[in-house]
Chain A
Amino acid sequence: DSGVTQTPKHLITATGQRVTLRCSPRSGDLSVYWYQQSLDQGLQFLIQYYNGEERAKGNILERFSAQQFPDLHSELNLSSLELGDSALYFCASSVRDSRSTGELFFGEGSRLTVL
């Protein structure tokens, strides 16, 4: 158990809908990262927050947004969903921010299926 909690584990929804994925980082970790994993693209970095502030942005679509709250949990919002958004979404946490390299601890992921 990595200590990172993600909910929901599975989500099935329709095109055009909006969903919110939630992540609670390990106790003491200030950084939260969101990744998307699909068979053809592998693990793609979406966005990182450190202590409530956005620190780095990757291949995140404009239809997606995220935030980190004062209690350090994070939410990833996916809107106007398309079939191609079906994927595993992982949250990871670490003690440090992007200014140094440290181990990432991953949650078990949220599997999103868009029909």
Chain B
Amino acid sequence: QKEVEQDPGPLSVPEGAIVSLNCTYSNSAFQYFMWYRQYSRKGPELLMYTYSSGNKEDGRFTAQVDKSSKYISLFIRDSQPSDSATYLCAMSPPNSKLTFGKGITLSVRP
């Protein structure tokens, strides 16, 4: 079993839709959880960062962590064509390297 599993996609939604992206993990030592966004022909950039279980909101983006279920989600409200990108979840134990999911490609149709 891979340490981090991410829904494979791709995902295509109409503009304005609510998008839910999910990852599961197996390593109980993971304490830091991140979402990176990667536009075509670019490197990943950090979108959301959270440490504890619960929700963290930043504009149209909400990151949710459920450590008891080893499950994290990223919600995008009122999705825009500019949100079209690949989204990668990433996580790590304290003081250790990040492990990334394989990424899911999202396309938001105007």
Question: How many residue pairs at the A-B interface have CB separations less than 8 Å?
Answer: 54
Given known A-B contacts A92-B43, A108-B41, A42 and B94 have beta carbons under 8 A apart: no
Binding site for A on B (CB under 8 A): 32, 34, 41-46, 49, 88, 92, 94-103
Measured in the bound complex, the distance between the Cα atoms of B88 and A90 in whole Å is 14
Which chain B residue shows the least CB distance to A35? B100
Query: What are 23 of the A-B contact pairs (CB < 8 Å)?
Result: A42-B103, A43-B44, A45-B99, A56-B97, A90-B43, A90-B44, A92-B43, A98-B96, A98-B97, A100-B94, A100-B95, A101-B94, A101-B96, A101-B98, A103-B34, A103-B46, A103-B49, A104-B46, A104-B98, A106-B43, A108-B42, A109-B42, A109-B43
Q: Which residues of A contact B92 (CB under 8 A)?
A: 101
* Majority-rule SS of B interface residues: loop
Q: Which residues of A contact B42 (CB under 8 A)?
A: 108-109
Q: Which residues of A contact B32 (CB under 8 A)?
A: 101
**Residues of A within 8 A of B (CB-CB), count:** 23
Most chain B Cβ neighbours within 10 Å, of A48, A92, A103: A103
Given known A-B contacts A43-B88, A43-B103, A101-B32, A106 and B97 have beta carbons under 8 A apart: no
Most chain A Cβ neighbours within 10 Å, of B44, B45, B96: B44
Q: Which residues of A contact B41 (CB under 8 A)?
A: 108
Which chain B residue shows the least CB distance to A103? B46
Q: Which residues of A contact B43 (CB under 8 A)?
A: 2, 4, 90, 92, 106-109
